[in-house]
Each structure stands twice: as C-alpha cells, then as structure tokens.
Amino acid sequence: MVLLFACVASSSPPLVLEESSPLEQPVAAEDLPNDGVRPTLSDLSPLRDGDPAPEIGAGPLVLALWASWCPPCREELPHLQELQQLGVPVLAASVDLPTGRGKAVELHAAISPELRSAYAPELALKLGTVAIPALYVYDSQGQLVWYAEENFTAEELDRALVRSGVRRR
C-alpha cells in the first residue's frame, strides 16, 4: 500500500489566538472526514522508544498530523507547543513512514520537545486525511467539530477551540 500526501508550503503568520465568536452552525456530518472518527489508543504509539504510551482521554483534543519531510508541519510544531502551554490539550502525531521515524524524533526534540507526541503512521489513512499538516479538533464528547488540511487561519482554529469547549469566548 502506498500513501500519498500533499504538503503545501505556507507563508502564513504564526498562530495567534484572539477573541472570536463561536461557529454559527455545527459542521455537517457529510463535511467531516470518515464520519468524524476519533483516534483510539490502539492507533497511537510513543514517538520515541521507551516513552510512555500517549494518552488521548475522552475530553477535548487538538490532534495535529505532521511529518518530518513537511516544511509547514515543522513550522507548526512550536505553535502547537505554545497552545499546549496555554492549557489546550494537543497531541502531535507523526505520520512518517518507519524509515523516517528517527528524523521525526530528532525534529520533535529540537523544535518542540515539550509537545505531547505520538507515532501513528496509519492514522492519516484511518481519518481520511489527504494533505498535511492537518488539524482535528474534538469536543468534550469526543465529537469532531472542526478539521483543516494544509492551510487554515488562527481565527478558524480559535473558533473551533471555543466550539469544542477548550477555550471560552
């Protein structure tokens, strides 16, 4: 099986969360990839050998899919770490093939060592992801409320965080 991903270079500014209004309408089921499937613990393994298994729990979650060979993904990692430091539950899952796992470990340690991470090379396929970086935002009931592949704005993400219950307006 061969998985092909697009990785689009981005010149977007860093993510800066600002006050915004919640989304007017919920995301329609037909607009969600793979019916809004939430990853399970069986989809994840530690990025680094010897690390504890990543936990995803049942509450709100920002799931970021990234790869070591994707420049926009590498740019996004420090911003995700900043979100996590603000109290946003973030999990960055590398979708690198096994041959690239070592590079992913090195990049994670150099760019965003405090960011909660996982290794999940088949998760993109399960979620129906066709391009990375990709972000999935789940609410406290585990329902997918927003996702974006490639390019998205800080305002879009902030609205999704409000809607998921991670941030208050």
pLDDT tens track, the chain, 169 positions: 333 344 544 444 333 333 333 333 334 445 555 555 666 656 777 788 777 767 776 678 889 999 999 999 998 899 899 889 988 889 999 999 999 999 999 999 998 899 989 898 888 888 888 889 999 888 887 778 888 887 777 788 888 888 877 765 5
Query: Could you tell me if residue 17 is inside a domain?
Result: no
Query: Could you tell me if residue 20 is inside a domain?
Result: no
Q: What is the CATH number of the domain that holds 82?
A: 3.40.30.10
**Taking the model in full, what pTM does it have?**
0.76
The token pair that represents 89 in the structure block? 């539950």
The candidate with the shortest Cα–Cα distance to 84, out of 115, 128, 119, 129, is 115
Query: Could you tell me if residue 122 is inside a domain?
Result: yes
Provide the domain limits for residue 127.
Answer: 68-169
Number of domains in the chain: 1
Is the CB of residue 15 less than 8 Å from the CB of residue 151? no
Query: Could you tell me if residue 148 is inside a domain?
Result: yes
Quote the Cα angle for 108-109-114, to 5°.
85
Query: Could you tell me if residue 55 is inside a domain?
Result: no
